[in-house]
Chains A and B, each alone.
Chain A
Amino acid sequence: MTSQRMIEFVHVRREYRRADGAHVTAVDDVSLIVPEGEFVCLIGPSGCGKSTLLQLLAGLDAPTSGSIVLKAKEIEGPGPERGMVFQRDSVFPWMRVIDNVEYGLKCRGVRAPERRRIARDYLARVGLTHVEGAWPRELSGGMLKRVAIAAVFANGGEVLLLDEPFGALDYVTRRQLHDVLLALWDTPGATRRTVLFVTHDVDEALTLADRIVVMHSGRIADDIPIAAMRPRNDDTLATPEIIAIKHKLLAHLGLQTKGAHA
């Protein structure tokens, strides 16, 4: 596999000034290279700067210093080549489901019949064909996440940023959405998109990631490749190597685990 570099963070720093005048360093000198097609999970305790890092890459925020480079071009603002799925619901309530999925294509001037065809294809792939004409308020939380995922995949961005997208969902829905997401990411015959997926759930990271980057206090604390075969299931994730990684991750999150000798 030729691993061309897709994303490069170069000494990225983001400081915020709080209302009381104090400076908070949300992202502190982060340097990271992500090759094309890699599925990276960002994990770390709450407040360690994961969302900030993703917002910077999305171009919704700018670094205080350092730079973020996408395919040898420095990022200067948001763009459709970097799709984003937010933790909270971001599906537009005033557009029907199919119009939401088409919206990015519409912004980019794709003609109506063509974009409808693409949107229908992705709605089918996330299992929502039956609600294409529904209003978002008529859908459950899990269905709304499927719409958001269909919308960013339909838009064709090479980079997908997901900020704790399934954090608010129940266990069963979350596992179903892992399958939906991986099926879209790993479509036979299509190039894999580069994914940055923020989570605080160790099992979720182990199920999804090629590589887990651990953050702590705005810095990268660890960077662990996950070699487990795909598709993964509870059995393939029960190998001694994966369990050792799991203990290591839990320790990074400040959770002492019994019987961990890693």
Chain B
Amino acid sequence: MTLRGLGFDPLRPLGALLFLGLWQAASASMAPIMLPSPWSVVKRASADFWSAPSLAYYGVEDPSLFGNLVYTSENVAIAVLVGASLGALVGLAASRVWLVRALVNPIMLTAGTAPIIIAAPFLLIWFGVGRASAVSLVAFYVATILYLFAERAARNLDPIYEHSALTLGAGPRRLIRDILIPATVPELLGGFRIALAGAWGLEAVSELLGAQSGIGKVLEVLAGATDAQGILASLILLGVVALAADACAAALIARFAAWSAAGAQRL
């Protein structure tokens, strides 16, 4: 198995190097307060990783980048797991049960087109500034995407598989467990990956709107202090975590969608 076969794309590090080079060049011609150099940002990220005095000064609950990354990651993990399972299950149900589709489809189709962030003020009013409002916002966003993917995948599934399973002796439970779910898994995981990528940004933005912890809160505080270096350090750490999560999602796809053409490309 080659590196490329493992999903390693040599253009990726090349692109990253190019980006770093441009950043370095731009920072050389700008004041550090406007655009700090990549190296200074890396140093800042490692210095503030376990303990960040500036955050303590501005009254962030957990004065370390690590602690706030954990807070944000936990929220994203909970939201993605809850939202994805709910969205996928309701989507599959809607594809087969007329009543579910009639009830849920209008909501989901609207939610799929409107910018979800408009729900944030209401969630803040209902749930306050704690975890609950950020988590429910992200969970709702993830559920919407998974719902749309699941419903479409199940609706497009060739009925021949259900017919074949029925003539082989499958009952309704087996139809769901052995046909409907595995048949739609590649598309569900594809939707999951897209939702996961979007979840990080949405979580950070919802923390910006009012939270006591999280990378979003850190960004809010540092923006108030016009600390470009600290902002970039936080964003880069968040980016690294998001990339790692995406790699896990890709590995999941390779493992559980090996039978389909989409999964085969990653093997």
Footprint of B on A, CB under 8 Å?
58-60, 77-80, 82-84, 86, 88-90, 92-95, 103-104, 107-108, 135-137, 151-152, 155, 161
**Interface of B: prevailing SS:** helix
Instruction: Say which residue of B160, B164, B182, B258 sits within 8 Å of A135 (CB atoms).
Output: B258
Which of B160, B166, B261 is most buried by chain A, counting CB atoms within 10 A of its CB?
B166
For A83, list chain B residues within 8 Å (CB). Answer: 167-168
**Interface of A: prevailing SS:** loop
Q: Would you call A92 and B161 a contact (CB within 8 A)?
A: yes
For A84, list chain B residues within 8 Å (CB). Answer: 163-164, 167
Given pairs A84-B164, A103-B165, A107-B174, 19 additional interface contacts (CB within 8 A): A59-B167, A60-B167, A80-B168, A86-B164, A89-B160, A90-B160, A90-B164, A92-B183, A93-B183, A93-B259, A94-B182, A95-B259, A103-B168, A103-B170, A104-B169, A137-B264, A152-B168, A155-B169, A161-B167
Complex-state Cα separation, A155 to B168, whole angstroms: 7
Complex-state Cα separation, A107 to B178, whole angstroms: 10
Q: Would you call B169 and A94 a contact (CB within 8 A)?
A: no
Given A94-B182, A135-B258 in contact, is the A79-B169 Cβ separation under 8 Å? yes
Pick 24 A–B contacts, CB within 8 A, sort by A.
A58-B163, A59-B166, A60-B163, A60-B166, A77-B166, A78-B163, A78-B166, A78-B167, A79-B169, A80-B167, A80-B169, A83-B168, A90-B161, A92-B179, A94-B183, A103-B170, A104-B168, A107-B171, A135-B258, A137-B259, A137-B260, A151-B168, A152-B167, A155-B169
B185 at interface (Cβ–Cβ under 8 A)?
yes
Q: Would you call A107 and B168 a contact (CB within 8 A)?
A: yes
Residue of B nearest to A109 (CB): B169
Given A88-B160, A94-B182, A103-B178 in contact, is the A135-B259 Cβ separation under 8 Å? yes
For B164, list chain A residues within 8 Å (CB). Answer: 84, 86, 90, 92
Instruction: Say which residue of B158, B170, B260 sits within 8 Å of A107 (CB atoms).
Output: B170
Q: Would you call A90 and B259 a contact (CB within 8 A)?
A: no
Complex-state Cα separation, A82 to B168, whole angstroms: 8
Complex-state Cα separation, A59 to B259, whole angstroms: 30
Give a binary string over B180-219; 1 marks a CB under 8 Å from any A CB, 0 the rest: 0011010000000000000000000000000000000000
